[in-house]
Amino acid sequence: MTINRSSANILFMITKCSQCSKSFETYAYKIKRHKNLFCSTICQHKFRNNRVKLTCRICDKPFDVQKHRTVNQKECFCSAKCSYEALKVPKIRMNCASCNKEFDVRKCRLKYSKKKYCSRECSDKGAERQVSCKCKHCQKEFSVTKSAKEYDKGKFCSKKCVTEFYSDKHFPTFKHGHGCFKKLSKNRSNICEICTKEGKTDVHHIDGNPFNNVKSNFITLCRSCHSRIHNLSGRHEVLIEKALDIFKIIKDLPSNSRSTWLEIERLKKI
């Protein structure tokens, strides 16, 4: 039965006491939250102090426990030690897959693999995680994990060999015995050759070929001018060399105005 008290706007309900079965009035939210409710503190203490006699399943020792503790538990134990003993999973005796030595293992560990090892060393030997490879640069033999070789990572024995291999003729920007593009990008100035602004700069290939790394094919540009040249070449279908010449003429004009577009179309025909 539900009672609504308009003065406090709170719902009250009538329920039974868990100890004496007497009907009493209590808050509705308490009935949802608590399994056991009492009409008074006396009934509450009586319910808590009501004890039953049980026998421990592990050590067969008789003991007393409060009745309310047995409501939600399947079984009770005389001590925490006996409780831990009951939770222990029985182990299985088996032989190591590598050295054939006997050892104990939990049953749950055999769920995904029946091959088990007694130690980490035996596991590494049995799994054969390391495989031998040859270095691409110095031809030296070295060991690498199976997974690394599968993902095509076991090519070089050290970082030194990686840098030496890719700074030599195998590197795409290699030209005339040295990586001139790499050198120029390090030693380039911070001033744009078109707008003469100072700041972060890029190296631009004049003919648009990234493999033509001759010094005469390079120009230092700011990032704004560099992106505008490539945008001009793509949007107006102009060759990258001609786009550079057109941009030098229209650099001071607004980028998205109609007059600029008409000027570009005129310069394309020249």
In tens, the pLDDT along 209-242 reads 877 777 788 888 888 888 888 888 888 888 888 8
All structural domains of the chain with their residue ranges? 2-49, 51-87, 91-127, 131-166, 180-269
Maximal CA-CA distance, the chain: 108
Mean per-residue pLDDT for 70-81? 74
What pLDDT, on a 0 to 100 scale, did the predictor assign at position 6? Answer: 47
Give the pLDDT band (50/70/90) at residue 9: low
175 vs 145: which has the higher pLDDT: 145
* Residue 131 parent element (H or E): strand 130-134
Which pLDDT value is given to residue 177?
Answer: 42
Q: For 190, which DSSP code?
A: S
* Residue 179 pLDDT greater than 60, yes or no: no
Q: Angle, to 10 degrees, between the axis of helix 240-250 and the axis of helix 258-269?
A: 130
- The sign one gets for the Cα dihedral 215, 217, 219, 224 is negative
Average pLDDT over residues 165-181: 55
Residue 178 has pLDDT above 50, yes or no: no
Confidence check: pLDDT of 7 > 50? no
Question: Is pLDDT of 67 > 70?
Answer: yes
